Structure 1
């Protein structure tokens, strides 16, 4: 990592190229110069090799599925593995490319496989107790699907909520139609691998930033913004029901829904984190996005920004939190008892709310994150979950 982009206000101050580069290096150090302390217990120390051994012991390894923040998390994870001397190849030619896969799936799926010629790979395979054939399949797969639902699914959902039939889908985001089938195929046990590769395939899901009035502009206008947001929430609920229905029946699958991280509209005003969550919430407000920007944006700019609905991120998270709780109760007590996918809600919201200083570029991008910052801690947490649970 070479640095974090400087705030927009600094870039307008006539810095030389050398000053800009030094400023970016300093900002990266400032962002990374904080240590997270759990309020109880201890998070396991990161061990890249043990992490990969755990993934090798599952048929499909780890899937990271979501939007740009998920892509950022993937970048940090792969970097942390390579830092530990673990060599990975991206989309090697020996991986199957079925003609039945949708073009969007082929375009937006990135599969990382251990390099066969690496001595580290051979040692990790022995430690995992799996056949060498397991190392030919991905240990980490990134799926870029910003909405989790493809165009056909989004059309069906929004048309039920009043969008005109056959509307022109303008501004469609990256998607990977059929990613659920890819996960199901990857999670299947392989002949000759039942003893070693006996762990669950792991999926980390997220969406939320793009479920907004801005992205769902095909929905008809209503009298008030609150009424329009109500329909966005309903569309989101229908997507959650659709995706959980497709994944819940897959055996030997552990699904973690990572909560959507907040945006901080005034992140340019913050050079350090908040000291704790309560202080952050008091300063930012419960809506985390419902702030007055009339002094810095024109009326048209402010309306366009508001339609991105940053204040719905917390609501979206609650939908997933309740849904995951219901799914796990059903798995323990209902007809799905001890079969099908296991679900967990992974809450990074409180951590992220405290870091207005760590966004990608204050004044330009207060939604994505300067890397590796939060994603490094997320990766350690994921390792802890997979090791302890």
Structure 2
């Protein structure tokens, strides 16, 4: 679930399943309809479908709902929420809505309730959590949120942006808390690389990548055609991605401590389980892997970096299974 970067991962992940011999049906008629959600079920009767069902030990009813879905929700909050949030930080209430091009799922909460509910006849066999790989970060910038007041002080403006982001995170986490049988892996927003056309190989290690990141503003300004373009590029706030990801990390670590304490007291722990997946430095090491060097230094070419995300998820889930 997320923006166009998550969509790129969707394409890579779906290719992995197809390479494994799975035949998938996209949005069959019996599934809930939402323009922002694209769901996949295993094709009925296919040999791989029958093999997987046997290995999982689940009834036929489980095969009627998705094995994976992509939820295109670029901001995680809808217009009314965004107007409320920005209003808390000085935006005028009548600012012009400009995010029509960003896909949204009209009611993702309803979708998760449907996905995670216990169904008759599945109480003993379908017991695992739904796994959500989640991100929102790339569009939470001064550029997208143009309605926030410009003070002329970038430090002050960026501080306001971060405070707004913290408020949004708490809002979204509260909404997810309404669900059960759901484990959420929040993915740190991946790095963008200004002037990525200058690179034709990865950094040698994370230390070298962090040194390269220190040149962020220099490399951003180098791409600007004029002072106006320079301002626009700086207000993308790509160098805030890691700062905002750590907002999620802090909140998730707090929930993890609460969960652990409840388990130690012998309490029955319900609700969402959260994990933070820090892929930032991994992505920071790949300035050479963007799809359109010189034009787009944020999105990745398929499938390299996205495949590493999938492997990383698999590794984390394996460790969770062992526990």
TM beyond 0.5:
yes
Q: Which residue is equivalent to 2:16?
A: 80
Out of 112, 125, 129, the residue aligned to residue 200 of structure 1 is 129
Q: Distance in 1 between matches of 2:11 and 2:268?
A: 36
Asked if 1:174 corresponds to 2:103, the answer is yes
Question: How many Å apart are 1:273 and its aligned residue?
Answer: 0.5
Q: Any gaps of 5 or more consecutive residues in structure 2?
A: none
In 2, Cα distance between the equivalents of 1:292 and 1:274? Answer: 16
* Aligned residue runs from structure 1 range 284-363, under 5 A: 284-285=213-214, 289-297=216-224, 298-333=226-261, 338-363=269-294
Check the 8 A contact 1:72/1:371 in 2, yes or no.
yes
**Paired residues for 1:125-140 under 5 Å:** 125-140=53-68
- Tell me how far apart the structure 1 counterparts of residues 78 and 165 of structure 2 sit (CA, whole Å): 13
CA deviation profile, 1:151-197 (whole Å, cap 9, x unmatched) = 11111100111111232212342221321221122111111112221
1:223 deviates by 2.5
- Give the corresponding residue for 2:29: 93
Q: 1:235 to 1:127 in 2, by over 3 A?
A: same
1:283–1:96 Cα change, 3 Å: closer
User: RMSD across aligned C-alpha pairs, in angstroms?
Assistant: 1.6
Out of 268, 280, 287, the position equivalent to 2:209 is: 280
Q: Distance in 1 between matches of 2:256 and 2:309?
A: 23
Whether the 8 Å CA contact 2:202–2:287 is kept in 1: the answer is yes
Q: Counterparts of 1:183 and 1:345 in 2: how far apart (Å)?
A: 20
Deviation at 1:293, TM superposition (A): 4.1
Structure 1 counterpart of 2:304: 373
> 2:155 matched to which residue of 1?
226
Matched residue pairs, number? 315
Give the equivalent residue in structure 1 for 2:43: 115
Does 1:159 pair with 2:87? yes
CA–CA distance in 1 between the matches of 2:222 and 2:130? Answer: 49
Answer yes or no: is the 8 Å Cα contact 1:330–1:337 preserved in 2.
Answer: no
Residues 86 and 120 in structure 1, CA contact (< 8 A), matched pair in contact too: yes
* Structure-2 separation of matches of 1:94 and 1:337: 35
Q: Return the offset for 1:81.
A: 0.4
Aligned equivalent of 1:189: 118
- CA deviation vs aligned residue, 1:265-304 (integer Å, no higher than 9, x gap): 021111010111001111221xx74335444422111111
Q: Which residue of 2 aligns with 1:71?
A: 7
Tell me if the contact between 2:195 and 2:222 (Cα under 8 Å) persists in the aligned partners. no
Contact persistence 1:86–1:114 (CA under 8 A):
yes
Q: Which moved more, 1:263-272 or 1:165-174?
A: 165-174
Flag the 1:163–1:227 CA change in 2: closer, same or farther, 3 A.
same
1:211 and 2:140 correspond: yes
Q: Structure 1 residues 301-310 or 177-186, which shifts more?
A: 177-186
Residue by residue, what CA displacement relative to the aligned partner does 1:303-336 show, whole Å, maximum 9, x if unpaired? 1111111111011111011010011112222598
SS in 2 for 1:89: strand
Instruction: Provide the rounded CA distance (Å) in 2 between the counterparts of 1:209 and 1:73.
Output: 15
After superposing the two structures, state which structure 1 stretch, 226-235 or 358-367, moved more: 226-235
Distance in 1 (CA, whole Å) between partners of 2:203 and 2:280 is 14
Q: 1:293 to 1:77 in 2, by over 3 A?
A: closer
> Deviation at 1:238?
1.0
